[in-house]
Amino acid sequence: GCLLAGFDEEKCLRKLSSGLFAFQTYLEFIQETFASEKQNVESLCYGTKHLAAT
């Protein structure tokens, strides 16, 4: 996990990555809903994908 007691870096990173990929669904909804913020949402999507893949 990601808590200090019994910290496991690989497990923590997999959990974070999984959460970021799940967050993509919400980003897609935001992108469709807030078309006027397209550039900001695209930037957020790119950053999230990059973090998830790192």
Would you state the pLDDT for residue 26? 85
Would you state the pLDDT for residue 1? 57
CA 7 – CA 3 distance, rounded (Å): 6
The yes-or-no verdict on residue 11 having pLDDT over 70 is yes
The yes-or-no verdict on residue 5 having pLDDT over 60 is yes
What tokens appear for 26 in the block? 């919400």
Average pLDDT, rounded, for the chain = 82
CA 9 – CA 32 distance, rounded (Å): 35
Give the pLDDT band (50/70/90) at residue 39: confident
Q: Which is it for the CA torsion 53, 48, 28, 44, positive or negative?
A: negative
Report CA 1 to chain centroid distance, whole Å.
Answer: 18
**In the chain, domain spans:** 19-53
Q: What is the reported pTM?
A: 0.56
